[in-house]
Structure 1
Amino acid sequence: MPHPAPRPFDGLSAVVTGGSRGLGLLMARRLMARGAAVTIAARDRTELADATALLSGTGRAGRIRSAVCDVRDQAAVRDLFAEVAARDGGVDLVIAGAGIIQVAPWEAAGTRGFREAMATIFEGALNTATEAMPHLRRSPAGGRLALIGSIGGLVAVPHLLPYSCAKSAVAALAEGLRAEEAARGVTVTAVHPGLMRTGSHLHARFGGAAEKEYAWFSALAGAPVVSMDAERAAERIVSGIERRRARIVLTPAARLAATAHGLAPATTTRLMSVFARALPRHHGEHGEPVEGHTLTPPGGPAARLRRALGALNDKAADRFNQRGHDRPPGSPAG
């Protein structure tokens, strides 16, 4: 009787931060399909339990475990990797995907919003890379690290400036780490997705005219032509990590935007200025940002258009563990 063909990640130990829902959950599933023993990490214990149940029921080849961890706490991240390494005999592959999305004019986000984005998105990625690297250097398979950036880190997007600034720092970190760690046998992949239908609009945080901000963001994030199917995106990302690619930019729109900005940054900025004029105006609102699942967008024809464009994204929220549990304000996504 012939033996089954070996899978690319058979026997490897993988960690996915931000792995309890959305893209992180789907990447964990793809790693399992390739034979890895996967540990998903996030802050919310209940979400992690739900995610573990979802992944355990898929019949995937790999194993799944979960760990409560706040990536903003470097000591907690250190303990996470020490625990995984002791249990699995090492750490071979890490995806740093924890983050938050804030949607508001920059003044409404305030300096606090920028600091929160940097703490969770950039410092979370930095803590993950710092504490994972000693383990990855010892991996017999050659360690792999992927940092999840965004097209928003390659092109500054109006009303997403805290997010864009933090993701831009992640992009620089990934490129620099790849250059410095190549001699030690560790490959680092920078991942820059465009809009994906993950259901993340329900956990994005909205400020300023929050209902109007939610309306445009949720519609655009779910628009079929502009956004990408999240399961397909996860497969592309994990496949790129498997091949040790330096950079992955997902969706044709994102690749076009990144290329255009590199060739003609002034023109791209002018186009973003036109886009910004179409977004909700800031009228001095400085209330606490609120999560999308608490909001009801304005009614009328615009609401019907939002529902039509966002229908696929709303369905994705049901499939990718995005519904059902509130989180503390400012907590990392996934």
Structure 2
Amino acid sequence: MAGLKGARERWVRTGGIELCVAELGDESRPTVLLVHGYPDSKEVWSEVAHRLAERFHVVLYDVRGHGRSTAPTPLRGGFTLEKLTDDFLAVADAVSPGRPVHLVGHDWGSVQSWEFVTVPRTEGRIASFTSMSGPSLDHFGHWIKQRVARPTPRRIGQLLGQGVKSWYVYLLHTPLLPELAWRGPLGRRWPKILQRVEKVPAGDYPTASLPGDAAHGAWLYRDNVRARLSRPRADAYAHAPVQLITPTGDVFLSERLYDDLGAWVPDLTRRSLPAKHWVPRTRPDQLAAWIGEFVGANEDRSTKAPKTTAKSGVRPEYAERFGGQLVLVTGAASGIGRATAFAFAEAGARIVAVDRDGEGAARTAEMSRLIGAPAAWGETVDVSDEQAMEKLAAKVASDYGTVDVLVNNAGIGLSGSFFATTSEEWKKVLDVNLWGVIHGCRIFGGQMAERGQGGHIVNTASAAAFQPSRALPAYSTSKAAVLMLSECLRAELAGQGIGVSAICPGIVNTAITATARFAGVGEEEQKRRQQKASRLYGLRNYPPEKVADAILRAVVRNEAVVPVTPEARGAHFMSRFAPRALRAIARLEPPA
């Protein structure tokens, strides 16, 4: 089977048709049942299915009239939600007769799955439901009626906005036109349209059955949409826990459709994903992580899933924004990098902790898992080594997926006058502080851009980027370059949905003081100054956790330049409105 290598195949008879069912993984494990949308076949799930099969018994089937399943005769009336529910129960009884299944639906797979999870006859057969890009027609109908009955400018705007997004629904109700288009030019061009518009990777999807699938699937809309939207059920309450995954870039569905969902779903978990509509193909790693976490939590309801928003003051919206995303942090063995990895872990993100101190990176990864990360890995690399960074990026992409948030945090300190600083010292600072950031942005940022589903890059600069100092020429130059690089990248990547933020802390109590170098002095004086700097930073005692929280907030708000500490905010203000005063301060000679 294309895209489903190693799958076991069976046929399930129901209502005069045959459904083609594929299975992966150990049948003794919990069953995850994946239902595809329109105009897809079960192969849309292949990347997600293979990832889930490492932990679960995974089942996929071609919806009636799609893929290798047969179509009803006649087509009219053969695709009602009632008959689709019959199909689901037949498949569930065949593949998991004595145990409820964990249901996952995308697009029309989600629309029909909402029916499965809200009708009485399926109660007890569904352990959990993960929905993406497909609302309940009943909930949608009530959503429309509420806005028509009590119109306000905001509600009217929501109705009009969704009306525009639903343009294709009107076309699918026209006689013969969809069938002719899909069996003609649209069917031939659809793969390239998906690649260009949705950034869906080329490969063995969609399958050759697409024209027929799409023609038959038009009856999903004709048999159900108008009837349910005009007469929505009043008892459409979910009888199983629901995880809602909302792609924020979905051009077909407004996020506002789910505003009232809590009234219909007593046990609701919400996730948002910066991606477009076809997330099973563009974000399989993310979906597999979220689905696996949700299934695992609901297999044993007596053991609650970790509350990712209750630790270290991380606010609730972070869990919805970052849960399951892949976050890579350089310089993660200590200080701001470690605190940032922990903050993202508390929000449920998967963590790649990178540092040239391999043991420190491994400890950060281990602690991230304990804090709440569904998965975390430690990787050893010197960010100034371009080839090493290339190898790391290839490994991360192959083993963990494309990075959603990149935090270029690794850096070193160097103090001393310009003429006391040697060329070798300049090179070392620029290699780590600037070139390390360039390598990360170019390599991992390039993967984000190629994926075409957005992302975010955070570059740790410093208040020294806009605060000149006679004692920090090399360090300040490297950080000023990082700040300008961030601004330039932000402009270039904005059109691709990739945000770029420069974080500019001031004096933060981290281990950088213990490893900072002082140009032009001997080793004994080096140690004395390092100890003195450590004491001063300790007295200031601004914790790295506050910088980490600023980083998460910057990603959520897509902030450009973020001064963090009070002195950083003051210096940033002066650089814009009182630069002469800042230059005067820069002339002061710091105490030895």
TM-score, scaled to structure 1: 0.76
CA offsets, 1:268-315, max 9 Å, x none? 1212222x1x422xxxxxxxxxxxxxxxxxxxxxxxxxxxxxxxxxxx
Q: Is the 8 A contact 1:92 1:135 kept in 2?
A: no
- Paired residue for 1:45? 358
Q: Is the 8 A contact 2:345 2:369 kept in 1?
A: no
- Paired residue for 2:484? 172
CA offsets, 1:33-52, max 9 Å, x none? 22211101111222222323
Equivalent position to 1:222, from 507, 526, 538: 538
Residue type of the partner of 1:35? G
Q: How many residues align?
A: 275
Equivalent position to 1:74, from 383, 386, 396: 386
Structure 2 residue runs of 5 or longer lacking an equivalent are 1-240, 242-266, 272-318
Shift of 1:237: 1.4
- Paired residue for 1:241? 555
Shift of 1:3: 4.0
Larger Rg: 2
Equivalent position to 1:28, from 323, 341, 346: 341
Q: Does 1:260 pair with 2:591?
A: no
SS at match of 2:587: helix
SS at match of 2:420: helix
Shift of 1:200: 2.5
Q: What is the distance in 2 between the residues matched to 1:96 and 1:202?
A: 21
Q: What is the distance in 2 between the residues matched to 1:95 and 1:105?
A: 30
Q: Does 1:54 pair with 2:370?
A: no
Question: Does the C-alpha gap of structure 1 residues 216 and 171 become closer, same or farther in structure 2, counting only changes over 3 Å?
Answer: same
Q: What is the distance in 2 between the residues matched to 1:107 and 1:101?
A: 17
Q: Considering Cα pairs closer than 8 Å and 6+ residues apart, tell me whether 1 or 2 has the greater RCO.
A: 1
Shift of 1:211: 4.5
Q: What is the distance in 1 between the residues matched to 2:373 and 2:453?
A: 19
- Paired residue for 1:310? none
Equivalent position to 2:398, from 44, 68, 86: 86
SS at match of 2:444: helix
Shift of 1:138: 4.1
CA offsets, 1:108-162, max 9 Å, x none? 3322211211111101100110001221124565211111100011112332221
Q: Is the 8 A contact 1:16 1:39 kept in 2?
A: yes
Q: What is the distance in 2 between the residues matched to 1:122 and 1:17?
A: 13
Shift of 1:174: 0.2
SS at match of 1:109: coil
Two-structure CA RMSD over aligned residues (Å): 2.0
CA offsets, 1:227-247, max 9 Å, x none? 522112211212211221111
Structure 1 residue runs of 5 or longer lacking an equivalent are 281-334
SS at match of 1:147: strand
SS at match of 1:228: coil
Q: What is the distance in 1 between the residues matched to 2:546 and 2:374?
A: 20
Shift of 1:216: 4.5
Q: Does 1:155 pair with 2:467?
A: yes
Q: Percent identity?
A: 25
Q: Is the 8 A contact 2:453 2:497 kept in 1?
A: no
Q: Is the 8 A contact 1:31 1:62 kept in 2?
A: no
- Paired residue for 2:329? 16
Q: Is the 8 A contact 2:513 2:534 kept in 1?
A: yes
Q: What is the distance in 1 between the residues matched to 2:587 and 2:501?
A: 31
Q: Does 1:65 pair with 2:377?
A: yes
TM-score, scaled to structure 2: 0.44
